[in-house]
Amino acid sequence: MNSKVVSTQPIEGQMPGTSGLRKKTRVFMQPGYLENFVQATFNAIGGASGKTFVVGGDGRYFNATAIQTILKMATANGAEKVIVGQDGLLSTPAASHLIRMNKTDGGLILSASHNPGGIENDFGVKFNTANGGPAPESITNAIFAETRSILEYSIAATDDVDIHTIGSFSIGEMTVEVVDPVADYQALMASLFDFDKIRELFANGFTMRFDAMHAITGPYANAILANSLGAPKGTVTNGVPKEDFANGHPDPNPVWAKELMDLMMNDNGPDFGAASDGDGDRNMIVGRNIYVTPSDSLAVLVANAHLAPAYADGLSGVARSMPTSGASDRVADKLGIASFETPTGWKFFGNLLDAGKVTICGEESAGTGSDHVREKDGLWAVLLWLNILAERKQSMTEILTDHWKTYGRNYYSRHDYEAIPTDIADTLMSGLIEKLPDLVGQEFSGLKVSAADEFSYIDPVDGSVSHNQGIRIFFESGGRAVFRLSGTGTEGATLRVYLEQYVPTEADHSQETQQALTQVKQAAQQISELASHLGRTEPDVMT
Ligand code: VG1
Ligand code: CO
């Protein structure tokens, strides 16, 4: 087999964001763009020679082509073996599991997750390390540094590999093992949960709707929910992965999963509903006539995890990202276990999970997961919910109201302002930072500021520090507003404003969420002078 060393030039802007490098698909399709990033990744980890990797993606447009390029580069760089999901498909949690199970050196996951797919939309590449988790900042920074000095990459001059047939193939000296994308993941799920109990739940007439949003979880949900657990026909919808997600936005929230929301907000709706995102690591949870905010879902899972076999002995601790509501902290307090607050992005949970400091982690963006892999895991959260429902034999509404009664309710919503010119978003954020020192004691919209800062994180395991992770403003009333700019977009800036109001008294737990957050929203808008910066006050998306 012939390998070529190809001369190249550094390409601007190949800095991985919250979760890998995401760009317009056409940008990734430019000659050398993917190649530079993949070579930079190999360089940053001391080369690929003798190493084994997992490669797969969410099936979006350009997935299969990118995989062929990566295979040819891996063999030219001396890799020993690459494990690929059949047809190039792997959900992000399944990829994480394969990396760990096969004790590989890491993996490349091709996805832009919740971003739309297709030639006119988005593509992405993420490197995960040997623990199965997203590369920490030390590595993503090293990759970026390599992209700025790269002058050549290596690639094999060979035919495409057949990734449609399960089995082992050779490409040069390297083995390519094509595996069933679902089987190992399914076995892992069966080892964590009481599948018999969940089968009994469905056999007794429990109804569910799982919206795979035309993305990667379709095959997983069909195999596990329908075929193994006996969920009724029609439970899994939009279950065939499409290259463009049927022109949808595979982001599981009430706005983009409207079809599911409409079905559930109805007295005749199913008992339980869920949706997952492009690459299968997120979950939206909804009951009949009740939407469960991801922050509440995390708290309920932590409070009830002991009902599932894998967590019967209790949890070592829980971690949430900073913008996620404090609901899970209250549960951790009551359980007497540690709780941690990390910056946004799953890469910050890896060290805590590896060190055994936490068992369950979660983010307000509908990501929850545990130490079974090193990624958030959409179907895992759905199965844990099902296991809890099978044990408690109560409705979603009963479980939620009971939870609020015990712990108080953290009303919560995220407001996204999309497609803002980058300079305007930066001015808004720097204006806020300038104001921070004087905010305490001031009143806005009737709420007095009790604390305000820019969030920094010191990793308790390796001591690494991450600055500029969002602005937090706390109010004396138990409210909080958080501001940060998205790190996953591919066009302009997205401002995320996270609103929270803690309400301890049960009598006040049946308010409408946006209503309960009106004051915090107004205060947040006043402090940030949002209207004058953006020329509007209403967000594009409210989750
Ligand atoms: C968003 C979410 C964050 C999540 C990240 C990756 O990041 O807010 O919680 O970890 O997406 O999720 P940002 O920087 O746009 O706010 V996924 O499922 O899109 O890989
Ligand atoms: Co995702």
Q: What is the CATH topology of the domain spanning 409-542?
A: TATA-Binding Protein (3.30.310)
Binned at pLDDT 50, 70 and 90, residue 148 comes out as: very high
Q: What is the pLDDT of residues 64-92, one digit of tens each?
A: 999 999 999 999 999 999 999 999 999 99
Q: What is the pLDDT of residues 374-401, one digit of tens each?
A: 999 999 999 999 999 999 999 999 999 9
Do 399 and 406 touch, CB atoms closer than 8 A?
no
Output the CA 485–ligand 2 centroid distance in Å: 18
Rounded Cα gap, residues 364 and 509, in angstroms: 20
Classify each residue of 128-140 as buried b or exposed e, where b means 16 or more C-beta atoms within 10 Å of its C-beta: bbbbbbbbbbebb
Q: Is the pLDDT of residue 207 over 80?
A: yes
Residue type, 153: Y
For residue 111, give the ligand 1 atom closest to its CA: 20
Residue written as token pair 């920074």: 141
Rounded Cα gap, residues 321 and 468, in angstroms: 14
The strand pairing partners of 175, in sequence order, are 81, 170
Do 462 and 137 touch, CB atoms closer than 8 A?
no
C-alpha dihedral (158, 159, 163, 168), degrees to nearest 10: -60
Rounded Cα gap, residues 127 and 117, in angstroms: 19
Q: Measured between alpha carbons, how far is residue 131 from residues 105, 342, 347 in Å?
A: 8, 19, 11
Q: Identify whether 113 is a catalytic site residue.
A: yes
Q: How far is CA 153 from the centre of its chain?
A: 31
Q: Is the pLDDT of residue 1 over 80?
A: no
Q: Does 342 sit in the ligand 1 pocket, CB within 6 Å?
A: no
Residue range(s) in the chain whose domain bears CATH number 3.40.120.10: 2-179, 185-407
Q: Does 487 sit in the ligand 1 pocket, CB within 6 Å?
A: yes
For residue 277, give the ligand 1 atom closest to its CA: 18
Mean pLDDT of the chain: 96
Residue range(s) in the chain whose domain bears CATH number 3.30.310.50: 409-542
Q: What is the mean pLDDT of residues 450-456?
A: 97
Q: What is the pLDDT of residues 210-262, one digit of tens each?
A: 999 999 999 999 999 999 999 999 999 999 999 999 999 999 999 899 999 99
Neighbours of 323 (CB within 10 A): 27
Rounded Cα gap, residues 381 and 404, in angstroms: 20
Q: Which CATH architecture has domain 2-179?
A: 3-Layer(aba) Sandwich (3.40)
CATH code, 185-407? 3.40.120.10
The strand pairing partners of 385, in sequence order, are none
* pLDDT score, position 491: 85
* Among protein residues, the one whose CA lies closest to atom 18 of ligand 1: 113
Q: Give, in degrees to the nearest 5, the angle at Cα 21 between 38 and 278.
A: 110
Q: Does 280 sit in the ligand 1 pocket, CB within 6 Å?
A: no
Do 113 and 490 touch, CB atoms closer than 8 A?
no
Q: What is the pLDDT of residues 96-105, one digit of tens each?
A: 999 999 999 9
Annotated catalytic residue: which of 19, 91, 111, 113? 113
- Looking from the CA of 22 toward its CB, the CA atoms found within 13 Å total 21
